[in-house]
């Protein structure tokens, strides 16, 4: 199935790359609650630098816009014995202190010039829509280990890449925006022996250097930043994981998991749960440290292969330091801690999971290897110590549940995930297992948010009502839910917007004895609303009144279905993040400054406003000019008449000209009332202004009229 998909996509893959002239490209997942950098060489993370295609992009952020990062970088590993002789390992990432660098040791995969990333989406109105798309955001890439120099460069040699395996790799990364699946990114690799040699005793794995820190509190850099992580492995879930053991505890209550999902080759489906001879091995080592016995960095290909083919999880000291086997293993003495206990202490470690062995990987043969990068909150209750992450079983509960959804997606039609198409599993009737299927909620409602003076109007279309579930084949739409964030959510220390959404209202189909049966009459418009420049017709409206001007409100409308009791599937709801708008109520554009002039709030400004939170950065301050004309120039002067700053305003303003909105909002989805504009209290030379009285003028660019006023800064 995967090879057929690759062939079908050939024209889609090649055409966008013509003439691009590059062999390295990064993209960031952007439809879910995960901001994960993925590159076209099969790696994830950007080493906290994002300095290739995407300046300042997150590396592995969850939740989005929280500043909580989870990984430095990671990459694919393939190890084998070539023709039964030379042992070789090709690595996509290997403990590089500065992350990816062209030709650097450990980065042994390359892409041909012009081979970047193709992005597809199964969202109908997406610019990347394709009937071949698996998820709401697919990243596709092709790369190889055959080259010993980097294509497109002046013969830059790849350091220590002496034994290429001769493999070609097709990667597909999947990212869903469903509320029950917006916390993982699936990675599906099709590995082809494109060389002339038989590869035997093949192991395939993925290495991740997890670093769970809150970069809003502690900027990346220095050994102390990287040495606070805890690690673990759950054999029941076939998943390694990372957490913050002692860094920014209390502001990093989440996990990163690396989960093996399944693999196939010419011998069939492989998974450790089905075949005792097919092993999953877990390894962890201290970053670039060769001095430790068990946790030593593998600095040769043979050591790397040994890591892939042997697992700490199979070591006698894994969880029983008092056993005789463990004492014998440690020269007759009992170690201070079991391996399990040791890994949970703070340190800078890399996690490697690998599976195998695959036998007789001959030229032209294919192996598929699937895994997921999984994120989850650490489950804590009112009795938990907020200053300590103990990594208790109950704290890992959500991580396991989230990883189960990744497994469900991979298994697809193979409901019991045994690699056999059992009776009743062939949903699409093609006689083959179709993987990467999830039950789907209704389509995301097309939504438009219109802030105004002390109010917000929320409009949405009825497109979700004709949604067809791919498993049942039925239109199972049931209703809508409207959400709003709590006041001041944006300046709290934790920016997980989903946990700050509160349900305002829920409406569903009447008289079917499902949910509230309250119907849509209170929100259904007699005639659909339309807006200039917008082709969508909006059939529903919900209004929020008595909303404070100037404050950010996250607004979302979701659609939910009735569920399928027979299949054991609960009601599913579209993601609130998928159409989340950041609305700022305020004054509409001022059509007559003579009747009511522009003004500033808060005035006076007391060295800080409530909406600024606890930020200590001068760039994160703001006041707001209100009652502005649609198009105008705002000029700010000192009391002596010196020009401090000049601001151009129009009613399509989204806040991108000052840091506050880039830190605490999302300017791509920010909506203002049209007559307001914020200022960061910095001069045009980015100097902090002094306390005192300031003058301002507003020049209406349409009428030519000017208004003058003043405001006061008290510090």
- Would you place residue 18 in the very low, low, confident or very high pLDDT band (cuts 50, 70, 90)? very low
Do 580 and 603 belong to one domain? Answer: no
* CATH code of the domain in which 663 resides: 2.60.40.4070
Percent of the residues in the chain that have a pLDDT greater than 70, as a whole number: 93
Neighbouring CB atoms inside 10 A of 277's CB total 7
Q: What is the pLDDT of residue 641?
A: 95
* Closest C-alpha among 160, 210, 175 to residue 47: 210
Taking residues 234-262, what's their average pLDDT?
A: 95
Q: Is 242 helix (H, G, I), strand (E, B) or coil?
A: strand
Residue 10 has pLDDT above 70, yes or no: no
For the segment 481-496, what is each residue's pLDDT rounded down to a tens digit?
Answer: 999 998 877 776 545 6
Do 502 and 378 belong to one domain? Answer: no
615 contacts 663 by C-beta, under 8 angstroms: yes
Taking residues 269-282, what's their average pLDDT?
A: 95
Q: Which two tokens stand for residue 227?
A: 């040495």
Please indicate, yes or no, if residue 322 is contained in any of the structural domains.
no
- Would you place residue 335 in the very low, low, confident or very high pLDDT band (cuts 50, 70, 90)? confident
Separation of alpha carbons 713 and 604, rounded Å: 6
Do 560 and 605 belong to one domain? Answer: no
Q: What is the pLDDT of residue 19?
A: 31
Q: What is the pLDDT of residue 16?
A: 35
Q: What is the pLDDT of residue 21?
A: 35
349 contacts 285 by C-beta, under 8 angstroms: yes
475 contacts 570 by C-beta, under 8 angstroms: no
List the single range of 8-12, 51-55, 582-586 with lowest mean pLDDT: 8-12
Do 404 and 511 belong to one domain? Answer: no
Residue 152 has what DSSP assignment? T
The pTM assigned to this predicted structure is 0.75
Residue showing tokens 């993987």:
435
- Would you place residue 15 in the very low, low, confident or very high pLDDT band (cuts 50, 70, 90)? very low
Residue 93 has pLDDT above 90, yes or no: yes
Separation of alpha carbons 86 and 519, rounded Å: 70
Question: Which residues, 6+ apart, have CB-to-CB distance to 584 below 8 Å?
Answer: 451, 549, 550, 551, 552, 553, 655, 670, 671, 672, 673, 676
Comparing 1 with 329, which gets the higher pLDDT?
329
Q: ∠ CA 273-278-281 to the nearest 5 degrees?
A: 90
Separation of alpha carbons 139 and 130, rounded Å: 12
Please indicate, yes or no, if residue 234 is contained in any of the structural domains.
yes
Do 568 and 621 belong to one domain? Answer: no
Task: Give me the number of domains the chain comprises.
Answer: 3
Separation of alpha carbons 415 and 447, rounded Å: 35
Do 383 and 477 belong to one domain? Answer: no
Please indicate, yes or no, if residue 434 is contained in any of the structural domains.
no
Question: Which of these three, 394, 411, 428, is where a domain ends?
Answer: 411
- Would you place residue 439 in the very low, low, confident or very high pLDDT band (cuts 50, 70, 90)? confident
State the chain's maximal CA–CA distance in angstroms.
91
Please indicate, yes or no, if residue 338 is contained in any of the structural domains.
no
- Would you place residue 61 in the very low, low, confident or very high pLDDT band (cuts 50, 70, 90)? very high
* Closest C-alpha among 173, 229, 167, 226 to residue 195: 167
Taking residues 494-519, what's their average pLDDT?
A: 86
Do 407 and 546 belong to one domain? Answer: no
Do 280 and 387 belong to one domain? Answer: yes
Question: Which of these three, 357, 392, 411, is where a domain ends?
Answer: 411
Please indicate, yes or no, if residue 593 is contained in any of the structural domains.
no
Residue 14 has pLDDT above 50, yes or no: no
For the segment 96-139, what is each residue's pLDDT rounded down to a tens digit?
Answer: 998 999 999 999 999 999 899 999 998 877 899 998 999 999 99
Query: What share of residues in the chain are helix, strand, coil (percent, to 5)?
Result: 10, 35, 50
Please indicate, yes or no, if residue 426 is contained in any of the structural domains.
no
Do 451 and 386 belong to one domain? Answer: no
- Would you place residue 551 in the very low, low, confident or very high pLDDT band (cuts 50, 70, 90)? very high
For the segment 634-665, what is each residue's pLDDT rounded down to a tens digit?
Answer: 999 999 999 999 999 999 999 989 988 888 88
Residue 405 has pLDDT above 50, yes or no: yes
Q: Residue 458: phi, psi to the nearest 5?
A: -115, 120
Do 62 and 193 belong to one domain? Answer: yes
Please indicate, yes or no, if residue 31 is contained in any of the structural domains.
yes
- Would you place residue 381 in the very low, low, confident or very high pLDDT band (cuts 50, 70, 90)? confident
For the segment 165-224, what is each residue's pLDDT rounded down to a tens digit?
Answer: 999 999 999 999 888 899 999 999 999 999 999 999 999 999 999 999 999 889 998 889
Question: Which of these three, 518, 553, 584, is where a domain ends?
Answer: 584
Comparing 514 with 612, which gets the higher pLDDT?
514
Do 249 and 110 belong to one domain? Answer: yes
Residue 2 has pLDDT above 50, yes or no: no
pLDDT mean across residues, the chain: 90
Q: What is the pLDDT of residue 606?
A: 87
Do 522 and 376 belong to one domain? Answer: no
Q: Domain residues for 75?
A: 2-317+345-411
Comparing 465 with 51, which gets the higher pLDDT?
465
Question: Could you tell me which residues are beta bridge partners of residue 706?
Answer: 699
411, 422, 493, 557 from 371: Cα distances, Å: 12, 23, 32, 32
Taking residues 500-507, what's their average pLDDT?
A: 93
Residue 3 has pLDDT above 50, yes or no: no
Query: Which of 5-14, 177-186, 276-285 reaches the highest mean pLDDT?
Result: 276-285
In order, the DSSP letters of 516-573 are T---STTTEEEEEEEETTEEEEEEEEEEEESPPTT--EEEEEEEEE--BTTTTBPP-B
Taking residues 38-53, what's their average pLDDT?
A: 85
Please indicate, yes or no, if residue 493 is contained in any of the structural domains.
yes
Q: What is the pLDDT of residue 203?
A: 98
């Amino acid at each position: 199935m995967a090879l057929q998909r690759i062939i079908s996509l050939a024209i889609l893959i090649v055409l966008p790359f013509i003439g691009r002239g590059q062999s390295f490209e990064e993209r960031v997942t952007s439809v879910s609650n995960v901001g994960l950098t993925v590159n076209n060489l099969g790696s994830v993370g950007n080493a906290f630098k994002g300095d290739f295609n995407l300046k300042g992009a997150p590396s592995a952020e969850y939740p989005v816009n929280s500043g909580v990062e989870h990984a430095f970088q990671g990459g694919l590993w393939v190890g084998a014995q070539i023709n039964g002789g030379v042992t070789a390992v090709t690595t996509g990432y290997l403990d590089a202190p500065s992350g990816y660098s062209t030709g650097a040791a450990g980065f042994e995969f390359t892409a041909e010039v012009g081979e970047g990333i193709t992005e597809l989406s199964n969202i109908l109105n997406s610019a990347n829509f394709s009937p071949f798309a698996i998820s709401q955001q697919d990243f596709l890439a092709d790369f190889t280990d055959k080259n010993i120099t980097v294509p497109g460069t002046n013969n830059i040699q790849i350091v220590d890449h002496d034994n290429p395996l001769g493999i070609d790799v097709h990667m597909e990364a999947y990212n869903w925006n469903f509320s029950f699946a917006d916390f993982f990114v699936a990675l599906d690799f099709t590995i082809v022996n494109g060389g002339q040699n038989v590869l035997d005793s093949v192991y395939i794995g993925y290495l991740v250097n997890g670093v769970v820190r809150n970069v809003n509190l502690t900027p990346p850099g220095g050994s102390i930043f990287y040495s606070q992580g805890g690690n673990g492995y759950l054999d029941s879930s076939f998943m390694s994981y990372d957490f913050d053991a002692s860094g920014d505890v209390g502001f990093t209550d989440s996990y990163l998991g690396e989960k093996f999902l399944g693999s196939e080759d010419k011998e069939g489906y492989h998974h450790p749960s089905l075949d005792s001879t097919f092993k999953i091995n877990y390894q962890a080592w201290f970053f670039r440290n060769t001095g430790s016995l068990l946790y030593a960095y593998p600095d040769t290909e043979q050591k790397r292969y040994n890591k892939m083919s042997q697992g700490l999880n199979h070591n006698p000291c894994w969880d029983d330091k008092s056993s005789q086997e463990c004492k014998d293993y440690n020269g007759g003495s009992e170690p201070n801690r079991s391996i399990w206990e040791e890994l949970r202490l703070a340190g800078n470690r890399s996690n490697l999971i690998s599976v195998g062995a695959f036998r007789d990987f001959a030229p032209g043969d294919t192996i598929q290897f699937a895994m997921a990068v999984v994120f989850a909150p650490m489950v804590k209750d009112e009795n938990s110590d907020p200053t300590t992450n103990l990594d208790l079983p109950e704290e890992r509960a959500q991580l396991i549940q989230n990883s189960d959804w990744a497994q469900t997606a991979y298994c697809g039609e193979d409901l019991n995930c045994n690699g056999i198409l059992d009776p009743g599993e062939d949903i699409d009737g093609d006689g083959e297992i179709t993987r990467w299927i999830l039950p789907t909620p209704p389509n995301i409602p097309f939504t438009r948010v219109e802030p105004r003076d002390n109010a917000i109007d929320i409009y949405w279309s009825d497109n979700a009502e004709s949604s067809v579930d791919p498993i049942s084949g039925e239109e199972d739409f049931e209703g809508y839910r409207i959400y709003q964030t709590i006041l001041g959510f944006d300046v709290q220390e934790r920016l997980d917007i989903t946990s700050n959404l509160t349900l305002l209202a829920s409406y569903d189909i009447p008289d079917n004895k499902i949910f509230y049966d309250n119907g849509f009459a209170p929100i259904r418009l007699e005639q659909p609303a339309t807006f200039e420049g917008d082709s969508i017709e909006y059939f529903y409206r919900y209004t929020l009144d008595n909303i404070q001007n100037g404050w950010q409100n996250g607004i979302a409308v979701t659609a939910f279905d009735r569920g399928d009791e027979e299949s054991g599937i609960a009601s599913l709801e579209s993601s609130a993040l998928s159409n989340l708008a950041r609305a700022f109520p305020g004054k509409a554009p001022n059509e007559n400054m003579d009747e009511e002039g522009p003004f500033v709030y808060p005035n006076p400004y007391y060295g800080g406003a409530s909406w600024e939170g606890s930020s200590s950065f001068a760039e994160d301050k703001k006041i707001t000019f209100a009652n502005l004309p649609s198009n105008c120039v705002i000029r700010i002067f000192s009391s002596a008449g010196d020009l401090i700053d000049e601001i151009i305003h129009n009613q399509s303003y989204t806040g991108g000209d000052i840091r506050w909105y880039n830190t605490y909002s999302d300017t791509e989805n920010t909506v203002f009332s049209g007559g307001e504009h914020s200022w960061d209290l910095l001069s045009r030379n980015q100097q902090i202004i002094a306390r005192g009285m300031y003058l301002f003028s507003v020049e209406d660019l349409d009428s030519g009229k000017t208004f003058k006023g003043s405001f006061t800064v008290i510090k």
